[in-house]
Amino acid sequence: MLTRLISADFPRSRPLAVLLVLCLLALAFTPFLVPGVKALNVAAKVLVFIVLVASFDLLLGYTGIVSFAHTMFFGIGAYGVAIASSRMGQGWAALAVGTAAALALSFVLALAIGLFSLRVRAIFFSMITLAIAAAFQTLASQLSEFTGGEDGLTFKMPELLSPSFEFAQEPFLGVSLDGRLISYYLLFVVALMAVLLMLRIVNSPFGRVLQAIRENEFRAEAIGYRVVVYRTISSILSALFATLAGVMLAVWLRYNGPDTSLSFEIMLDVLLIVVIGGMGTIYGAAIGATLFLVAQSYLQDLLRLGSDAAAGLPWLSALLSPDRWLLWLGVLFVLSVYYFPTGVVGRLRAMRVQRLAALSAPAKLVPARSP
C-alpha cells in the first residue's frame, strides 16, 4: 500500500525519511502542538508553498524548463476563487466555479505558451515567460472592475470554512474547533494528495521521458519522442498544480491582490526553496518549503531574543538586531548552498550512496609481518 502511495519513490536515506515524517507530523498536528494564529498561518503557508514549489520542480527539476510565469498560474487560481466568490456570494458553488474556471484558463494559457514558446531556446523561453508574467500582473492591477485593482478583493468562504462557525462548544487541547481548523485540514489533505499525485507522475513512464529530455533532448528526439509535446504536457500539468496552490491560498486568506499572489518576490522564494530542498525531487519541495518559511517567519523572533541576551555587548546586539533578519536569512541561504549544493535531499541521498560504497568496497590486504 505504501509503495502504491509514493509510487515506489522511497526517500532512500534514513535521515531524509526521518525529516519527511517529522514534517508530516508537524504539519498534521501544528494546530494542537503550537496553538496560536501565527503558527497556524505559517503552517498553512507551508502547505500552499509545498504544492507551488513541487509544481515548479516538475517543470524545472524534471523537465529542465526555466519559466518565470509560474506565479501567473498561482495568481489565476487565487483570482478565480476571489472573483467567483465576490460575484456569486458565499457558498460552495462559487468555490467550485472559481476553481474550475481558473483551471480551465490555466490550461489554455499553458497550452498556448507551450506550443508557441517551447520551440525556442531556453533563454528566450525564460524571457518570454517573464514578459507574460509582468503583463499579467499589470493587467490584474488595472482591471479593477474585476480584480479590485491594487486593493484586491476580500470575500467570504462557505460557512463551514468560516472562523465564526464552531462545531464544538468546548475547545480541544486549548484549540477552538471552528471553521478555521476545518480550512487548515482541508489544505493539508489537498496538499498531501497533490504531492502523492506528482510523485506518481514523475515516477511513471511519462516522468522517465521528461527526465530523459532534461538530460539530453537531442537523444530523446532521436529515439522517437516528440520533445515539444512532452514539454507542453509538462508545462500544462505544472500550471494546473500551481493553480491549485493559488486556490488553496485564496481559501485560507479569503483575500487576494496583485502583491499577494502575483509578486515577483514569490517567484524568487520558489526558486530559493527549490535550490534548498533539491531540484528534481518532489520531496525537496516539502523539506525546502518547511525550512525556508519557518526561518523566514521566526528568524526575527530569534534575533530579538539574541539581541536582548547580548545587550551587554553593543556591537553584537546591533548585529543581531531583528531589523537585519534579511541579512541573516541571506547568510543561512549561502551556507545551505555551500554545504548542500544539490539541496538537502540530494545531499542526504549522496551521503547514503557514499556510505554503501564504502561498506561494499573490498578490504585492503595487509601484508603479514615477518617473524
Q: What digits encode the pLDDT tens for the residues 150-170?
A: 888 898 888 888 887 777 777
Most confident of the following: 8-12, 22-26, 112-116: 22-26
What pLDDT is stored for residue 14 in this prediction?
A: 86
Q: Is the pLDDT of residue 371 over 60?
A: no
pLDDT category, 3, cuts 50, 70, 90?
low
Over residues 262-287, the mean pLDDT reads 90
Most confident of the following: 77-86, 119-128, 349-358: 77-86
Q: Is the pLDDT of residue 8 over 90?
A: no
What pLDDT is stored for residue 369 in this prediction?
A: 55
Higher pLDDT among residues 237 and 122, named by residue: 237
What pLDDT is stored for residue 164 in this prediction?
A: 77
Q: Which of 9-23, 100-114, 117-131 has the lowest mean pLDDT?
A: 117-131
Over residues 227-243, the mean pLDDT reads 91
Q: Is the pLDDT of residue 368 over 60?
A: no
> CB-based contacts of 340: which residues, under 8 Å, 6+ apart?
276, 278, 346, 347
What pLDDT is stored for residue 195 in this prediction?
A: 94
Report the percentage of the chain scoring pLDDT > 70.
Answer: 93
Instruction: Please state the pTM of the whole predicted model.
Output: 0.90
Mean of the per-residue pLDDT values of the chain: 85
Higher pLDDT among residues 273 and 356, named by residue: 273
Residue 281 buriedness (CB in 10 A; 0-12 / 13-18 / 19+): buried
Over residues 319-346, the mean pLDDT reads 83
pLDDT category, 6, cuts 50, 70, 90?
low
What pLDDT is stored for residue 145 in this prediction?
A: 85
Q: Which of 121-130, 150-159, 234-243, 291-300 has the lowest mean pLDDT?
A: 121-130
Cα–Cα dist 285/62, whole Å: 13
> Could you give the domains of the chain?
11-358 (1.10.3470)
> CB-based contacts of 128: which residues, under 8 Å, 6+ apart?
113, 117, 120
Q: What is the 3-state secondary structure (H, E, C) of the chain?
A: CHHHHCCCCCCCCHHHHHHHHHHHHHHHHHHHHCCCHHHHHHHHHHHHHHHHHHHHHHHHCCCCCCCCCHHHHHHHHHHHHHHHHHHHCCCHHHHHHHHHHHHHHHHHHHHHHHHHHCCCCHHHHHHHHHHHHHHHHHHHHHCHHHHCHHHCEECCCCHHHCCCCECCCCCECCECCEHHHHHHHHHHHHHHHHHHHHHHHHCCHHHHHHHHHHHCHHHHHHHCCCHHHHHHHHHHHHHHHHHHHHHHHHHHHCEECHHHHCCHHHHHHHHHHHHHHCCCCHHHHHHHHHHHHHHHHHHHHHHHHHHHHCCCCHHHHHHCCHHHHHHHHHHHHHHHHHHCCCHHHHHHHHHHHHHHHHHHCCCCCCCCCCC
pLDDT tens digits along 174-229: 777 788 899 999 999 999 999 999 999 998 889 899 888 888 888 888 888 888 88
What pLDDT is stored for residue 365 in this prediction?
A: 46
Q: Is the pLDDT of residue 122 over 90?
A: no
> CB-based contacts of 117: which residues, under 8 Å, 6+ apart?
124, 125, 128, 129
Higher pLDDT among residues 362 and 51, named by residue: 51
Q: Please check whether residue 234 is in contact with residue 59, taking contact to mean a CB–CB distance below 8 angstroms.
A: yes
What pLDDT is stored for residue 149 in this prediction?
A: 86
Over residues 94-123, the mean pLDDT reads 85
Q: Is the pLDDT of residue 117 over 70?
A: no
**Cell 475547545 -> residue:** 171
pLDDT tens digits along 50-63: 999 999 999 888 88
Report the percentage of the chain scoring pLDDT > 90.
Answer: 33
pLDDT category, 313, cuts 50, 70, 90?
confident
Higher pLDDT among residues 48 and 11, named by residue: 48
pLDDT tens digits along 65-87: 888 889 999 999 999 999 999 98
What pLDDT is stored for residue 124 in this prediction?
A: 76
